[in-house]
Amino acid sequence: MSTARDRRGRLLLTGAIALLAVMIVVSLMIGARSVAPGIVIDALLRPDLSLADHSVILTQRVPRTVIGVLAGAALALAGTLMQGLTRNPLADPGLLGVNAGASVAVLVAITLFGITAPAGFVWFAFGGAALAAVAVALIGTRGPDGANPAKLALTGAAVTAGLTAVTTLILTTSITAFDVFRYWQVGGLTARGLDTVAVVVLPILVGAVIAFTSARGLDLLALGEDTATGLGHSVTRTRVLGIIAAVLLCGAATSIAGPIVFLGLLVPHALRALIGGEYRWLLAIGAPAGAIVLLAADVLGRVIAPPGEIQAGLVVAFVGAPVLVSLVLRRGRVSL
């Protein structure tokens, strides 16, 4: 059984990587100005910004494709981690208050410092996301019983509610903040450059490494805390490392792509139906799968409403919302 599962896992991982390569090429080709694959390859190998097609590919599509790959992979990994840490199939990166913390920080950057460009407030978004997640983790782990799924979920909901109230207060008192913030809040890959990407590459890489090294601990945690402890595993260590990884991954992704919802919920569930619940495969396949989903949403958003675009965050939410409803309606699938 294990051999068959490993064989299926390797096959799915290879397929996901191949499909991601195809989606990267498609993302570079398709848009308001579509270009042939040969031109894409020529622009990457022999760039000439004096050519219009080369300029579009290198200055616009390459940055948004790189952001899509990084943010999609990071959100999928963070969602898988949160579901494993809380043993809750409805958990997603937003459970730690990451989106709410990033939103408040972006509004602070806009209103207090006059920053209106994504490259300017990316550090604020990352810092706000991290602080909110740390606050949830510290509060949710206090008490004699330490951290448990219910406490983390309730603490995350409380912190998110408070930060959302702050966000609403600022938006109702500043028209300038509202105009800039509403574009970022939707979640998308446009208007960001590679300079913005450089800020978050290291946190995403570190978070991914920690996530992959936590796979064994998540498998044991799925058996129950008592069982994991009885097998000599430190549940506290797994939770701490998992929360650190989720903060790095989701904070970085949110800072460059905005608060994209449902992706961290959608990808792990789709993979469980294909590969089962072994976390080394869920994480390994989830990274390219998350990138594929976000790139596909971005490409779809470019072509369904020409000559304008629909932001990738809206497309992902449109697909993810029915998935969430189906989870709620499936008896016995939700547990804390």
334 located within any domain: no
pLDDT number for residue 324: 65
pLDDT number for residue 54: 92
129 located within any domain: yes
pLDDT number for residue 144: 63
Q: How many CB atoms are closer than 10 A to CB 175? A: 9
Q: Could you tell me the pTM of the whole model?
A: 0.89
Q: Which domain holds residue 258?
A: 2-329
59 located within any domain: yes
pLDDT number for residue 335: 45
336 located within any domain: no
Measured distance CA(289)–CA(73) in Å, rounded: 7
75 located within any domain: yes
Alpha-carbon separation of residue 137 from 127, 134, 200, 310 (angstroms): 15, 5, 22, 35
pLDDT number for residue 336: 43
pLDDT number for residue 229: 80
In the chain, which stretches have pLDDT less than 50? 1, 331-336
pLDDT number for residue 2: 61
205 located within any domain: yes
CATH number at residue 64: 1.10.3470.10
pLDDT number for residue 333: 47
335 located within any domain: no
What is the domain count for the chain? Answer: 1
pLDDT number for residue 327: 59
- CA triplet 104, 109, 112: central angle to 5 degrees? 105
172 located within any domain: yes
Q: Which segments of the chain does DSSP mark as H helices, in order?
A: 2-29, 37-45, 52-56, 62-86, 98-113, 118-140, 149-171, 175-186, 194-213, 215-221, 225-230, 235-257, 263-275, 279-303, 312-329
Amino acid at 24: I
pLDDT number for residue 67: 94
